[in-house]
Amino acid sequence: MMTAMKQSAVVLCYHDVVNQVSTASGMQSPGSLLYKMRRSDFAAHLDAIGRAGLTPTLPNTNGQLTSENSLVLTFDDGGISAISEIAPLLESRGWRGAFFITTDWIGMPGFLHAADIAALADRGHLIGSHSRSHPQISRLSSAQMREEWQESIRILSEIVGSRVVTASVPGGFYSQQVARAASDAGCRLLFNSEPVVQLEEQNGCLVAGRFRVVANTTTKTIVGLAQRRRAPQLRQQLSWEAKKAAKRFGGALWFRLRNRLRPN
């Protein structure tokens, strides 16, 4: 097995893909609209990745990234568009995605049902945890963090019929304690929202950063990120540091800023 020191991956973090922006999939708060991408724009991203000669891959069933330079497409929250839009667009190119599910939302309006999640897994997509209740998880006690990961991993493992070993941190509320709790709950590969390509190890759990994709992210940015160009990485790093600073001042300001900052 490759050591974490040497391993790197470009991981893109998508949310929902919708036919029209008003179409209901996933979260419905005003801030979440930023993360709902039009179907045609998402298809253009995939076409651009293909034209650049890149092929998205997935971690194996042990949560290991088998290529040293992986490109991984991830989708957070478990909105219904995972199965109605995203999976078909990926599969038509022979590709698969990683879907991270908030288990309290399974079966709610706009979200995947258990049968959809099982079907995605059967079709070769990766199913991971996005916590049980989508809390600001880094602000919880260690026991609460562990419960969030344990319970969601238990439910998802039951649905897909095999042990779930990957997770993504809701809202980017990451800390080392969050990783430790995930590791304790059996997570082997945890995705956060730090815009970096280098993987690091935390208590037996590999931690991978991700680059956020929003509704107006251009194909040029996607290809630049996938090709590990420095400029688009730097733009995301600056924007992410600003967001983290805003988060420290609490919710209202964070939402105002989140709606204003639109990194490409």
Interface contacts to Zn ion, rule CB under 5 A: 76-77, 170
Of 8 and 25, which has the nearer Cβ to Zn ion? 25
> Could you tell me which of 152, 111, 93, 129 has the C-alpha nearest to residue 16?
111
CB of 137 to Zn ion, least distance (A): 10
Of 77 and 148, which has the nearer Cβ to Zn ion? 77
Query: Do 122 and 161 contact (CB within 8 A), yes or no?
Result: no
CB of 230 to Zn ion, least distance (A): 28
Query: Do 111 and 78 contact (CB within 8 A), yes or no?
Result: yes
Of 9 and 27, which has the nearer Cβ to Zn ion? 27
At 43 the three-state DSSP class reads helix
Distance separating alpha carbons of residues 230 and 248, to the nearest angstrom: 27
At 188 the three-state DSSP class reads coil
Query: Do 150 and 167 contact (CB within 8 A), yes or no?
Result: no
Query: Do 169 and 189 contact (CB within 8 A), yes or no?
Result: no
Of 8 and 211, which has the nearer Cβ to Zn ion? 211
CB of 130 to Zn ion, least distance (A): 6
Of 7 and 16, which has the nearer Cβ to Zn ion? 16
Of 7 and 166, which has the nearer Cβ to Zn ion? 166
Residue located via tokens 């839009």: 85
Query: Do 112 and 78 contact (CB within 8 A), yes or no?
Result: yes
**β strands within the chain, DSSP E:** 8-14, 16-18, 36-38, 69-77, 98-101, 126-129, 166-168, 189-191, 200-202, 205-208, 211-212
CB of 27 to Zn ion, least distance (A): 7
Helices (H) and strands (E) in the chain, counts: 9, 11
Of 7 and 126, which has the nearer Cβ to Zn ion? 126
CB of 169 to Zn ion, least distance (A): 9
CB of 83 to Zn ion, least distance (A): 17
